[in-house]
Chain A
Amino acid sequence: MATVEELKLRIRELENELIKSKQKQSDAEHHLRPKIVKMSAEVVDSNPYSRLMALKRMGIVQDYEKIRSYAVAVVGVGGVGSVTAEMLTRCGIGKLLLFDYDKVELANMNRLFFQPHQAGLSKVEATHNYNITTIDNFTHFMDRISHGGLEEGKPVDLVLSCVDNFEARMAINTACNELGQIWMESGVSENAVSGHIQLIIPGETALLILTVYLLFLPYLLQRKAAERPKQEAVQEEEEEVVVHEDNEWGIELVSEVSEAELQDASGPVPDLPEGITVAYTIPEKDGGSGETVEETDQSLEELMAQMKKM
C-alpha cells in the first residue's frame, strides 16, 4: 500500500507527463499545413491538387474546383464506404457526412482504412453513430440529407449507399425517393468476386425496389457454375439421399421440396445469363390461400392487455 507521499509524487509525475503530451499535440497541430484557398493547376511536386486539376486541363472534367462546394453523405463506412470516404477526401470534397452504427474491429483490418490502434472506437467518432432503420434515427437521417449540405439548410449533393444489408438499402431508397435525392447504390457479393454500382435518380431511373431481383448473386449458384466440369465426370456415382429422423422445423441442406412444388412457389423468372438466378421473385397478385385476421372492435389497448394476460 503506497504512502500518501508516494501518491503525491506520482500525481505530480503524471501531471507533468500530461502537460508534455498536450504540448506535443499542439506542436503537431502547428505543423499542419494551412488550408489552400484556391486550387492551383500548377504541376509541381508541392501542389496536392496537381494531378486532380490535370483532369480539368485534359478536358475530362470541367471546373474541377467545384468539388469543394459539394457535400456527400456516405452511409455505411465499411469495405466500400471507408475507401470511398477516403478517396473523396483526397480529391478535395467540400463536406462529408458519415453514417454507421458499428465499431472498428481487427477483423476489419484487411480492407478498411482504420488502423489497428483504433479498434474499439466507433467507426464514426463524433458524427453519426446510429442505425438508420429505426424510426427515431430515420427522421434525423432524412433531416441531415435534406439540410446537411455545405451550406447548412441546403440538401446534400449526393448520397452514397455503402451498406451491406437489404433493410438499410430500403431505408435509404425510401428517404431519397421522398426527398427527390440523387443517390448511388453499391454492393459486393459475399464471395467478394463481384460487385455492382448503380445510379438512381428518383423520377428518371428505375427505383431500387424494381431492380432488387438482380441485386443479389447467390453464392451457391456461382459455386455450382464453377463445379460443373467436375460434376459431369462423376455422374455415374449414386446420389446419397439425405435422411434424418424428424425435421420439425423443416431445416434442410438439400431441398426436400420437389421441383414442381418449387416452380409453383416461385413467381416468373426473367431470362438470365447462365450462372445467375434471382433470390427474390414477384409474388402472385391474387389473394393468398390463407385466412386473414378477423374483424374486431377491440381497441389496441385491449389487445395489448389481452396479450399480456396470456
Chain B
Amino acid sequence: MADEATRKSVSEIPLLKTNSGPRDKELWVQRLREEYLALIKYVENNKAADNDWFRLESNKEGTRWFGKCWYIHELLKYEFDMEFDIPVTYPATAPEVAIPELDGKTAKMYRGGKICLTDHFKPLWARNVPKFGLAHLMALGLGPWLAVEIPDLIAKGIIQHKDQQNS
C-alpha cells in the first residue's frame, strides 16, 4: 500500500505493546509512555534523515495533543498548527488530526479542520490495532495527506507562504 521509502521509515518506528485507552487509568499511563518513546524515536529518525517535519506534545493526561507540522514546497517551508483529541475508544479508533487554519479549504475536510483519513489510513490502522500509535498516525496519516493536499492548495493559490502574506 505504501512505497519503499514510506515502508522503510514506518518500519523504523517501534510498535506499541499496551492495548489501553484513556479510560484505563494505570494502563493508560503505560501506553502514554510507549507513545512518547515511539514518537521520540520517530523524530530522531527524521532528524537523521534530514526530514524533521513535525512536533507534538500533550496535556498532562495525554488526552489532548497539539503541535506543528511543516511542509517544504519549492524550497519554501510552510508551517501549520495541528491538534487532536484521543477518542474514548482509542486505540481501536484512530484520533482525527485537525489543522484548524485549513478548515474548509480542501474538498474533504470535517468540522474544525479535521483531515480526511478514511481511504488511505483507517483500514491500515484497523488491521494493526494496537501496535500502531501516534507516531504511525503521523507517518501514515498526516504525512501523506500533507504531501497530496499542500501542493494542490498552493497551486490553487488558497494558501500562501507567510513571507508573501506580509508583503
**A residues in contact (CB < 8 Å) with B:** 101-102, 131, 133-135, 138, 166-167, 170-171, 173-174, 209, 247-251, 255-257, 265, 267, 279-281, 283, 288, 290-294, 296, 298-300, 303-304, 306-308, 310
Apart from the given pairs A290-B131, A292-B16, 17 other A-B contacts in the complex at a CB distance below 8 Å: A102-B111, A134-B63, A135-B22, A135-B63, A167-B89, A171-B89, A171-B93, A209-B92, A248-B5, A249-B144, A280-B127, A283-B126, A283-B127, A300-B32, A300-B62, A307-B43, A307-B56
Residues of B within 8 A of A166 (CB): 93, 122
Assess whether B128 is interfacial by the CB under 8 Å rule. Answer: yes
* Closest-CB distance, A104 to chain B (whole angstroms): 13
Assess whether B157 is interfacial by the CB under 8 Å rule. Answer: no
With A250-B144, A310-B43 in contact, is A265–B1 under 8 Å at CB?
yes
Q: Is chain A's binding surface mostly helix, strand, loop or mixed?
A: loop
* Closest-CB distance, A16 to chain B (whole angstroms): 41
Assess whether B69 is interfacial by the CB under 8 Å rule. Answer: no
Show 6 A/B contacts (Cβ-Cβ < 8 Å), sorted by A.
Answer: A135-B23, A135-B85, A250-B5, A280-B123, A294-B37, A296-B33
Give per-residue flags for B141-155: 1 if the beta carbon is below 8 A from chain A beta carbons, else 0.
Answer: 001100110000000
With A134-B85, A135-B88, A290-B15 in contact, is A304–B36 under 8 Å at CB?
yes
Q: Are A251 and B148 in contact (CB under 8 A)?
A: yes
Q: Are A298 and B14 in contact (CB under 8 A)?
A: no
Residues of B within 8 A of A174 (CB): 88-89
Residues of A within 8 A of B22 (CB): 135
Q: Are B111 and A288 in contact (CB under 8 A)?
A: no
Q: Are B144 and A308 in contact (CB under 8 A)?
A: no
Q: Are B33 and A249 in contact (CB under 8 A)?
A: no
Assess whether B87 is interfacial by the CB under 8 Å rule. Answer: yes
Q: Are B131 and A281 in contact (CB under 8 A)?
A: no
**B residues in contact (CB < 8 Å) with A:** 1-3, 5-7, 11, 13-17, 22-23, 29, 32-34, 36-41, 43-44, 47, 55-58, 62-63, 85-89, 92-94, 96, 111, 120, 122-123, 126-129, 131, 143-144, 147-148
Q: Are A283 and B128 in contact (CB under 8 A)?
A: yes
A257–B4 Cα distance when bound, in Å, is 11
Q: Are A303 and B37 in contact (CB under 8 A)?
A: yes
A298–B34 Cα distance when bound, in Å, is 10
Q: Are B85 and A257 in contact (CB under 8 A)?
A: no
* Closest-CB distance, A217 to chain B (whole angstroms): 14
The residue among B15, B17, B47 with the most chain A CB atoms within 10 A of its own CB is B15
Residues of B within 8 A of A281 (CB): 127
A171–B147 Cα distance when bound, in Å, is 31
Q: Are A304 and B57 in contact (CB under 8 A)?
A: yes
Q: Are B143 and A133 in contact (CB under 8 A)?
A: no
Residues of A within 8 A of B96 (CB): 167
Closest to B89 in A: A170
Residues of A within 8 A of B92 (CB): 170, 209
Residues of B within 8 A of A171 (CB): 87-89, 93
Q: Are A167 and B127 in contact (CB under 8 A)?
A: no
A303–B41 Cα distance when bound, in Å, is 11
A209–B89 Cα distance when bound, in Å, is 12
Closest to A166 in B: B93
* Closest-CB distance, B137 to chain A (whole angstroms): 13
Q: Which of A134, A283, A291, A294 contacts B88 (CB 8 A)?
A: A134
* Closest-CB distance, A130 to chain B (whole angstroms): 12
Residues of A within 8 A of B89 (CB): 133, 167, 170-171, 173-174
Residues of A within 8 A of B15 (CB): 288, 290-293
Residues of B within 8 A of A293 (CB): 14-17, 34, 37-38, 41
A291–B15 Cα distance when bound, in Å, is 6
The residue among A209, A257, A300 with the most chain B CB atoms within 10 A of its own CB is A300
Residues of B within 8 A of A248 (CB): 3, 5-6, 147
Q: Are B55 and A300 in contact (CB under 8 A)?
A: no
* Closest-CB distance, B13 to chain A (whole angstroms): 8
With A249-B147, A251-B144, A307-B56 in contact, is A292–B14 under 8 Å at CB?
yes
Residues of A within 8 A of B87 (CB): 133-134, 167, 170-171
